Structure 1
Amino acid sequence: IFDTLVENAVRLCEAERAFLFQFDGKFLRSVATYNVSPKLREFVDKNPIAPGRHSISARAALERQTVHVHDIQGDPEYAYAVRDERPIRTTLAVPMLKGDDLVGTITIYRLELKPFTDKQIALVETFADQAVIAIENVRLFNEIQDKSRQLAEASQNKSQFLASMSHELRTPLNAIIGLTEMMVTNAARFGTEKALEPLRRVNAAGTHLLGLINEVLDLSKIEAGKLELNSEPIDLARLIDEVIGTAGQLADKNNNRLVVETRDSVHALTADPMRLKQILLNLLSNACKFTKQGEVALRVRKVADGRDWVELAVADTGIGLTAEQQTKLFQDFTQADSLTARRYGGTGLGLALSRKLARMMGGDVTVTSEPGKGSVFTVRLPAEAVH
């Protein structure tokens, strides 16, 4: 950009050579030249210019005004530094300003005695304004790049921390869950018959906490690009039976009726079965939690929309969502609102994770809802695996 600016300034103003200097707070340093000999360029690079009256560029920087010297050879105030260069006669230096702050200067030279016209001076001043904008854009771009690098490093550090923390927590939790299961299952052997209810509560709490840790770990893996899918042909009817078997207990807690509706003969789907179960259980768990003495339905159908899709919709007759609440649903660690979080609990991880997993499999999770009329969360996946 700077090279183009000085080249255009020279050509349009009928000059011979040019410098574009950038001010670093102390000195003017050359960042672009046109038709300048290597010797002069080297000299200027080694001798940065401080604002002052010892050169045309320095004076323009000092006074923050355009300086136009008709005949530099006839002006005793200026001495030509490099003696073996062809003598300069007419010089124009224009400061580059951002408000009152000095950004640099553009200086153009003629080897013949021929003052620049008012129109040519105005043109160079326009180039100076463009150079200021370009320098500011470069500064902003570099700043954005630096911020992006910092954010990427912070995200990577966070992901590494979460992975390490999750591993450290999962190990003792698995031991607690295993031990309580064993003490409940073999109560007579261990003499724990009177402590069955507390043991079950400990086991349930540990299992719940382990699920949350696994969700955090999955999110951190997705952010780090390290979560891998294992797609394979799935017997969808069988997978749905397994999911409904698990979700039945969730529905019973709030006296909900759990039903499956299959419009078409959907027998097969190529996807990651473990992740699909995870998505469906997340959605069914939410539906059962926010619905009381109502109905939760899992509806399955085929869709032809440019390609073959399978849609699995979880519909409930629960509390529903406002349009504003729906905009926040799929954000990490975000729930519909603080009141809902306090009343129903949860961390706001499940929906964010479900959508990310669905998108990794080439699909998506969407929602339609009305307050007081329930919600429908739809998982749409391609019938064939996305590679």
Structure 2
Amino acid sequence: MNLENFGRQVHEVRRNTQLLHHRVSESPEGQQDLLAEAFEELRTALEELHVAEEELRQQNEQLAIAFHQTATERKRYQELFDFAPDGYLVTDAQGKILEANYAAAHLLKISKNFLIGKPLVSFFPSEERRAFRYQLQRLFDMEGMQEWEISIQPRQGDIFDASLTVKTIRDNEGKPIGWRWLLRDITSRKQAEEKLNKIQIQNLKLQEVSLFKSQMLAVISHELRTPMNIILGFSQLLLRRYYHLLPPELREMVEKIVQSGKHLLKLIEDILDFCKLETSKLELNLQEVNFVELVTRIVEELKPLAERKNLTLILHSELKNPNIINDRDRLQQAVTNLITNAIKFTETGGVFVEIQQVKGDRLVLMVKDTGIGIPESEVAHIFTEFWQVDKSTTRKQGGVGLGLAIVDKLVRLMKGTITVESKLGEGSTFRVELPMSSEQ
């Protein structure tokens, strides 16, 4: 009985009661009292029935609202299910597809309507189906499975890598009655992982090659340094003892042996230093150093080299506190390499060295020359080992392209930075910024 029929019957009972009450009022007096009492009780019952009618009406309205909300939520859920970006499937306990969204149909290359009722196992390659059935049996004792990677064979097209996430559906007694499946195409991810794996393998090979190179250079350099020191020692001894006894031609030959030997020994030392820096075996011997005095002495020692090329070598310092904590020998090596390199590649003009203090706890060393400069396309490679802007120029000037690479690694070891600004044909400016203390 619906609310409308219930209300109609209540109204009919009330009308009949009123008619009866009217007839009773015309009856004999004794019967009239008895019937009046009965009708009063009936009227009370009818009023209670009317109240119940109103409550039923309100409950019916609430039920209608709840039904509308439920329908709205059901539609919303269905739309979320149908139009979700990932593939969603619902299967029974045997793996037969009961529900599927558009993304799943798109992945499996089959219309959504035709997908319903199909066994999910039919969308796996034949070699994968046994494993799928085995996992399906295991799911009866599990709540689900995360990121199960397996190959999918769509109705049309190529096999692709997929990830399945499964959730068990149970009845009121806890018995599994089906599964919810989340299906994702992970082909791009697998390709990226494979590419990353190849890169990692290549990096390991490059690291092995780099380590082998450094070890080989270190061994060769060490083995060369010992005989080179012997050659230099005996050549210098020959010059000191028999300088006046040697004919000018022989004296010049011995001097060239000493000069070339020193140059070769310097190259060997550079290679050894680079190998130590490359393998992080070089440690700083920190001490208090008067940086201005150190650079001044280096400039004075290199002035003859500049004067031989008719170049000006000038130092200007604005450092208020010249004392820093660093490695004296490595500072000297870095500064010497920078100034020597500037002189080497400058034919006219000069080299200008400037020291400044910035930010209170850091200093800047600038080495500016008026040399050949560096092409803009090559500036990014200037600190790369064995790199040369112009091989013919470098060969003419000497060196193997390790000087600036060593300076760069030394500056980094000192917790500093080095940059370069250059213009072809106009010169270069190297800027080194160092902390006043390189302690940890």
Q: TM-score, normalised by structure 2?
A: 0.61
Evaluate the alpha carbon distance shift between residue 17 and residue 347 of structure 1 in structure 2; reply closer, same or farther with a 3 A threshold. farther
Evaluate the alpha carbon distance shift between residue 244 and residue 18 of structure 1 in structure 2; reply closer, same or farther with a 3 A threshold. farther
Q: Which runs of 5+ in 1 are unaligned?
A: 1-7, 20-54, 68-78, 88-92
Contact 1:319 1:373 (8 Å CA) reproduced: yes
Match of 1:173 in 2: 228
Give the counterpart letter for 1:61 in structure 2: P
Alignment of 1:349 onto 2:372: no
Evaluate the alpha carbon distance shift between residue 269 and residue 101 of structure 1 in structure 2; reply closer, same or farther with a 3 A threshold. same
Match of 2:423 in 1: 370
Match of 1:201 in 2: 256
Alignment of 1:308 onto 2:365: no
Distance apart, 1:242 and its partner CA: 2.6
Match of 1:75 in 2: none
Report the 3-state secondary structure (helix = DSSP H, G, I; strand = E; otherwise coil) of the residue aligned with 1:368.
Answer: strand
Alignment of 1:280 onto 2:335: yes
Contact 2:151 2:160 (8 Å CA) reproduced: no
Contact 1:325 1:337 (8 Å CA) reproduced: no
Match of 1:95 in 2: 152
Report the 3-state secondary structure (helix = DSSP H, G, I; strand = E; otherwise coil) of the residue aligned with 1:226.
Answer: coil
2: CA distance, partners of 1:141 / 1:95: 23
Q: Report the number of matched residues.
A: 317
Give the counterpart letter for 2:305 in structure 1: L
Largest Rg, 1 or 2: 2
> In the TM superposition, what are the counterparts of 1:1-387 in structure 2 within 5 Å?
13-15=89-91, 57=121, 60-62=124-126, 95=152, 100=158, 103=161, 127-129=183-185, 131-188=186-243, 191=246, 194-304=249-359, 307-387=360-440
The structure with the greater share of residues assigned to helix is 2
Residues 133-159 of structure 1 show CA distances to partners (whole Å, capped at 9, x for unaligned) of 333333333323322222222222222
Give the counterpart letter for 2:412 in structure 1: R
Contact 1:282 1:351 (8 Å CA) reproduced: yes
Bigger relative contact order, structure 1 or 2 (CA pairs below 8 A, ≥6 apart) = 1
Distance apart, 1:251 and its partner CA: 0.7
Report the 3-state secondary structure (helix = DSSP H, G, I; strand = E; otherwise coil) of the residue aligned with 1:310.
Answer: strand
Contact 2:235 2:258 (8 Å CA) reproduced: yes
Residues 136-188 of structure 1 show CA distances to partners (whole Å, capped at 9, x for unaligned) of 33333332332222222222222211111111111111111122222222234
Contact 1:331 1:352 (8 Å CA) reproduced: yes
Report the 3-state secondary structure (helix = DSSP H, G, I; strand = E; otherwise coil) of the residue aligned with 1:380.
Answer: strand
1: CA distance, partners of 2:345 / 2:190: 55
Distance apart, 1:233 and its partner CA: 0.7
2: CA distance, partners of 1:194 / 1:100: 83
Evaluate the alpha carbon distance shift between residue 190 and residue 273 of structure 1 in structure 2; reply closer, same or farther with a 3 A threshold. farther
Contact 2:123 2:152 (8 Å CA) reproduced: no
Distance apart, 1:350 and its partner CA: 0.8
Contact 1:236 1:267 (8 Å CA) reproduced: yes
Residues 274-295 of structure 1 show CA distances to partners (whole Å, capped at 9, x for unaligned) of 1111111111111111222422
Distance apart, 1:360 and its partner CA: 0.7
Report the 3-state secondary structure (helix = DSSP H, G, I; strand = E; otherwise coil) of the residue aligned with 1:139.
Answer: helix
Evaluate the alpha carbon distance shift between residue 140 and residue 57 of structure 1 in structure 2; reply closer, same or farther with a 3 A threshold. farther
Contact 1:320 1:369 (8 Å CA) reproduced: yes
2: CA distance, partners of 1:265 / 1:82: 79
Percentage identity across paired residues of the two chains: 31
Report the 3-state secondary structure (helix = DSSP H, G, I; strand = E; otherwise coil) of the residue aligned with 1:234.
Answer: strand
Evaluate the alpha carbon distance shift between residue 81 and residue 182 of structure 1 in structure 2; reply closer, same or farther with a 3 A threshold. closer
1: CA distance, partners of 2:202 / 2:93: 38
Distance apart, 1:347 and its partner CA: 1.9
Q: Which runs of 5+ in 2 are unaligned?
A: 1-83, 96-118, 142-149
Residues 52-88 of structure 1 show CA distances to partners (whole Å, capped at 9, x for unaligned) of xxx9758731499xx9xxxxxxxxxxx999999979x
2: CA distance, partners of 1:81 / 1:297: 76
Distance apart, 1:104 and its partner CA: 6.9
Report the 3-state secondary structure (helix = DSSP H, G, I; strand = E; otherwise coil) of the residue aligned with 1:186.
Answer: helix
Contact 1:15 1:110 (8 Å CA) reproduced: no
2: CA distance, partners of 1:379 / 1:319: 20
Evaluate the alpha carbon distance shift between residue 18 and residue 244 of structure 1 in structure 2; reply closer, same or farther with a 3 A threshold. farther
Residues 195-254 of structure 1 show CA distances to partners (whole Å, capped at 9, x for unaligned) of 222212111211112212222222222221111111211122331233123312321231
Report the 3-state secondary structure (helix = DSSP H, G, I; strand = E; otherwise coil) of the residue aligned with 2:272.
Answer: helix
Root mean square deviation, CA, Å: 4.1
2: CA distance, partners of 1:85 / 1:351: 64
